[in-house]
């Protein structure tokens, strides 16, 4: 019987691979360079390499789970191909009207311009017909007009379309009729329909989400189909793709809902880090995933990453359930540059994998964060345990040239690059904590990814974080996270009603319908009925508010008592988020807005092995090498021990300054900090008592 599950996370610089043997419990990790011109090449190379390490063949593979950045990168780069939009007659300007929201507050409102619309005005067509808020037909659907619109798009070579009619969340009939017309008149067209993509109200957000789904569908479908065709050589492998909501879905299904993958890779990292930290005894955690292009941060409360439906990718809002991740351009390849005013900036532009940082020796000419680390001695003169040598002299030449432009010493210049990067990361961490009413000092920071742990000591200083956890094989945590993920699909139905007017039977009927949809999808994915799990939630608000708070809805029969309990949970959640609630004010009514069901098909998760503490483990550092490292530009370089992570058994404690190295990552421990290895092989970093923060 096939026994090995493989998780593959494709990043900007490296493709990370983890294999899990379900019989022995063994985990094997590796990395291979990413192949931006055709990411499938790096994907297949990763499978070959990890199977070679574990001594297995394709016949031993039970499933492959993949975290992809195809949709993410397309949206971040703004590469939206020719796209059309079909809506109600009279509402063709919906995308211009949008929402009057200023990203950085009203202080910048005079200087902020709405981003370019995803569909140009000349590619928007209206079709006559109208439903009311209950889904009842006000004006009939104009099929003749719909056919004229379909032919116009066909004749003008517009082959990707989004359809969004008013109130289609309540009745999908008009949208389905439009889809059938397109199938007859323009059969080669790729179509996304709002009543399938996002069945909830707010027409602008629903339209944008549908159009984003349509925009990424051709490219993601081609990518997934390419990989599937090349996996045939291993047999009929189940192939899953990570979704933004913290679940996976089969490749056959994900091509029909590609928008669900827009935060595929970062979601896997957050889940993997959450599981590792929870096993180690930390359930309030900040995750920081540092890669070659960016750093992704999220918050974990009670062992679960927080979810949002108010996310966006680049300039495009996407109102789908996704793990609440904030991304900042502060990866190892982020470029240092001078503003027109002559000040030093870092990112968000990245050198990527090709040509990469100057030290890669592949033609890069601009100083990056990695070059600064190499120059200061904080990372070794090679990557991946020596597989990729780094050109230290070239990096030094680049840093010195930049320093001369700034009028700084080379050490101060490199330290400045890293200081800016640390503050960029700190600000991202504040976005997922302080801006959500959370105190960053109440959390343990978990750093991972190839570059995620390089600035952890500085982040502890900047944010006042007391503890940082660095998992073993930190560069492969996202790939590991893919092996911890259940199959998951989300279903939503808008039902706006005041709590005092809400009928329990109506709510129960909607939840039953959503659960039936989820059950059908799980059955299609191969899960037997007894394996099906369902999680119910609801979006509530105070009457008159514009946005909602999501709260859990208990399992079992929905009755008046359950509705009251949900309202009570809403009051408590509102108080936690905003510092107040109206539970004691009978005049302030609670309003229900959306009902949601998540259908879950559980998988077998890897167990994190526990290791006995080794007495005298702290002495493991006595035979280490040294190299000059600069932790402070004013103090210059100091001889610093370099310790292989494999030489630190559980129970080891080392004091900074020290550099801890492993295959895919490096952990610099600054003076004034200590690192302890726990029984799960995590490095736990704390500040020395009395050391200056």
- Each residue of 618-655: pLDDT tens digit? 554 544 689 999 999 999 999 999 999 988 999 999 99
- Among 244, 236, 246, which residue's Cα sits nearest to residue 603? 246
- 257 lies in the same domain as 273: no
- 316 lies in the same domain as 255: no
Which tops the pLDDT comparison, 16 or 123?
Answer: 123
Asked whether the predicted pLDDT for residue 27 surpasses 60, the reply is yes
Mean pLDDT of 28-38: 80
- Among 535, 425, 478, which residue's Cα sits nearest to residue 267? 478
Count CB neighbours of 92 within 10 A: 15
Last residue of a domain, one of 539, 573, 601: 601
- Each residue of 546-579: pLDDT tens digit? 888 999 999 999 999 999 999 999 999 998 888 8
* Residue 106: per-residue pLDDT: 47
Domain that holds residue 55: 4-75+221-261
What is the distance between the alpha carbons of residues 41 and 33, in angstroms, rounded to a whole number? 10
Percent of the chain with pLDDT over 90: 47
Asked whether the predicted pLDDT for residue 166 surpasses 80, the reply is yes
Domain count, the chain: 4
Asked whether the predicted pLDDT for residue 73 surpasses 90, the reply is no
- 613 lies in the same domain as 466: yes
- 631 lies in the same domain as 662: yes
- 257 lies in the same domain as 278: no
- Pull the structure tokens for residue 679: 């029984």
Q: What is the CATH classification number for the domain harbouring 163?
A: 3.40.50
Q: What is the CATH classification number for the domain harbouring 67?
A: 3.30.420.40
Last residue of a domain, one of 182, 213, 244: 213
* Residue 628: per-residue pLDDT: 94
The listed range with the strongest mean pLDDT (105-109, 226-230, 305-309, 592-596) is 592-596
Asked whether the predicted pLDDT for residue 107 surpasses 60, the reply is no
- Each residue of 258-300: pLDDT tens digit? 888 887 778 888 889 999 999 999 989 999 988 777 788 999 8
* Residue 109: per-residue pLDDT: 47
- 227 lies in the same domain as 365: no
- 35 lies in the same domain as 169: no
Please write down the long-range contacts of 514-523, taking CB distance under 8 Å and 24 or more positions apart.
514/595, 514/596, 514/597, 515/597, 515/599, 517/491, 517/597, 517/599, 518/489, 518/491, 518/597, 518/598, 518/599, 519/599, 521/253, 521/489, 521/599, 522/487, 522/489, 522/599, 522/600, 522/601
- 303 lies in the same domain as 377: yes
- 95 lies in the same domain as 34: no
CA atoms within 13 A on the CB side of 461: 16
* Residue 541: per-residue pLDDT: 96
Which tops the pLDDT comparison, 24 or 490?
Answer: 490
* Residue 242: per-residue pLDDT: 87
What is the distance between the alpha carbons of residues 431 and 65, in angstroms, rounded to a whole number? 30
Q: What is the CATH classification number for the domain harbouring 496?
A: 3.30.1490
Percent of the chain with pLDDT over 70: 94
Count CB neighbours of 693 within 10 A: 10
Mean pLDDT of 186-190: 93
Last residue of a domain, one of 231, 261, 291: 261
Mean pLDDT of the chain: 87
Asked whether the predicted pLDDT for residue 354 surpasses 80, the reply is no
- Among 534, 532, 571, 533, which residue's Cα sits nearest to residue 551? 571
- Each residue of 359-406: pLDDT tens digit? 988 888 899 999 999 999 999 988 766 677 888 999 999 999 999 999
Asked whether the predicted pLDDT for residue 108 surpasses 60, the reply is no
The answer to whether residues 75 and 212 touch, using CB atoms and an 8 Å cutoff, is yes
At residue 178 the predicted structure's pLDDT band, cuts being 50, 70 and 90, is very high
Mean pLDDT of 475-491: 87
Asked whether the predicted pLDDT for residue 112 surpasses 70, the reply is no
- Each residue of 664-673: pLDDT tens digit? 789 999 999 9
- 516 lies in the same domain as 463: no
- 467 lies in the same domain as 322: yes
* Residue 104: per-residue pLDDT: 53
* Residue 478: per-residue pLDDT: 86
- 248 lies in the same domain as 364: no
- Pull the structure tokens for residue 58: 């394709």
* Residue 600: per-residue pLDDT: 93
Give 584's contacts (C-beta < 8 A, 6+ positions apart). Answer: none
């Amino acid at each position: 019987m096939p026994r090995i599950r493989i998780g593959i996370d494709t990043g900007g610089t490296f493709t990370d691979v983890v294999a899990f043997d379900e019989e022995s419990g063994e985990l094997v990790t590796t990395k291979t360079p990413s192949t931006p011109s055709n990411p499938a090449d790096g994907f297949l190379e990763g499978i070959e390499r990890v199977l070679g390490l574990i001594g297995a063949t394709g016949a031993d593979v039970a499933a492959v789970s993949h975290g992809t950045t195809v949709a993410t990168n397309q949206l971040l780069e703004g590469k939206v191909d020719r796209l059309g939009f079909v809506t109600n007659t009279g509402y063709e300007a919906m995308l211009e009207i949008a929402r009057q929201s200023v990203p950085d507050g009203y202080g910048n409102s005079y200087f902020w311009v709405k981003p370019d619309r995803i569909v140009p005005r000349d590619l928007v067509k209206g079709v006559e017909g109208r439903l009311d808020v209950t889904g009842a037909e006000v004006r009939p659907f104009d099929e003749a007009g719909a056919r004229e619109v379909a032919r116009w798009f066909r004749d003008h070579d517009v082959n990707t379309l989004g359809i969004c009619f008013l109130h289609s969340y309540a009745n999908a009939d008009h949208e389905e009729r439009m889809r059938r017309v397109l199938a007859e008149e323009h059969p080669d067209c790729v179509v996304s329909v709002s009543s399938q993509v996002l069945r909830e109200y707010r027409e602008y957000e629903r339209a944008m989400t549908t159009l984003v789904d349509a925009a990424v569908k051709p490219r993601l479908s081609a990518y997934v189909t390419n990989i599937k065709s090349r996996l045939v050589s291993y047999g009929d492998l189940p192939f899953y793709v990570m979704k933004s909501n913290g679940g996976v879905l089969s490749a056959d299904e994900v091509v029909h809902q590609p928008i669900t993958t827009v935060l595929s890779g970062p979601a896997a990292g957050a889940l993997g880090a959450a599981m590792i930290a929870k096993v180690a005894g930390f359930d309030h955690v900040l995750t920081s995933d540092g890669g070659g292009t960016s750093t992704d941060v999220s918050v974990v409360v009670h062992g679960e990453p927080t979810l949002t439906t108010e996310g966006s990718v680049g300039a495009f809002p996407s109102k789908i359930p996704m793990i609440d991740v904030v991304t900042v351009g502060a990866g190892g390849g982020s470029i240092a540059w001078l503003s027109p005013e002559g000040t030093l900036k870092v990112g968000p532009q990245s050198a990527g994998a090709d040509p990469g940082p100057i030290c890669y020796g592949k033609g890069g000419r601009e100083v990056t964060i990695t070059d600064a680390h190499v120059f200061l001695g904080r990372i070794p003169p090679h990557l991946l345990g020596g597989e990729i040598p780094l050109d230290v002299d070239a990096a030094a030449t680049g840093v010195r040239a930049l320093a001369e432009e700034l009028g700084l010493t080379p050490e101060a210049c490199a330290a400045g690059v890293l200081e800016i990067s640390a503050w960029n990361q700190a600000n991202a961490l504040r976005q997922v904590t302080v801006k959500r009413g959370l105190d960053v000092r109440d959390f343990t920071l978990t750093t991972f990814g190839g570059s995620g742990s390089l600035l952890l000591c500085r982040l502890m200083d900047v944010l006042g974080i007391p503890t940082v956890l660095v998992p073993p094989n930190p560069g492969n945590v996202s790939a590991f996270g893919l092996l911890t993920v259940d199959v998951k699909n989300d279903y939503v139905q808008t039902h706006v009603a005041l709590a005092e007017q809400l009928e329990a039977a109506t709510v129960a009927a909607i939840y039953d319908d959503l659960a039936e949809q989820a059950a059908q999808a799980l059955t299609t994915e191969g899960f037997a009925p007894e394996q099906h799990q369902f999680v119910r939630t609801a979006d509530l608000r105070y009457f008159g508010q514009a946005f909602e708070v999501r709260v859990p809805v208990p399992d079992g029969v929905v009755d008046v008592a359950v509705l009251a309990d949900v309202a009570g949970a809403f009051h408590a959640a509102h108080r936690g988020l905003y510092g107040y609630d109206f539970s004691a004010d009978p005049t302030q009514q609670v309003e229900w807005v959306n009902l949601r069901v998540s259908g879950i098909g559980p998988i077998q998760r890897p167990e994190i092995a526990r290791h006995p503490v080794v007495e005298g483990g702290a002495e493991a550092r006595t035979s280490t090498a040294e190299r000059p490292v600069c932790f402070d530009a004013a103090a210059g370089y100091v001889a610093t021990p370099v310790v292989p992570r494999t030489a630190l058994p559980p129970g080891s404690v080392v004091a900074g300054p020290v550099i801890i190295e492993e295959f895919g990552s490096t952990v610099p421990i600054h003076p004034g900090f200590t690192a302890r290895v726990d029984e799960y092989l995590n490095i736990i970093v704390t500040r020395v008592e009395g050391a200056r923060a």
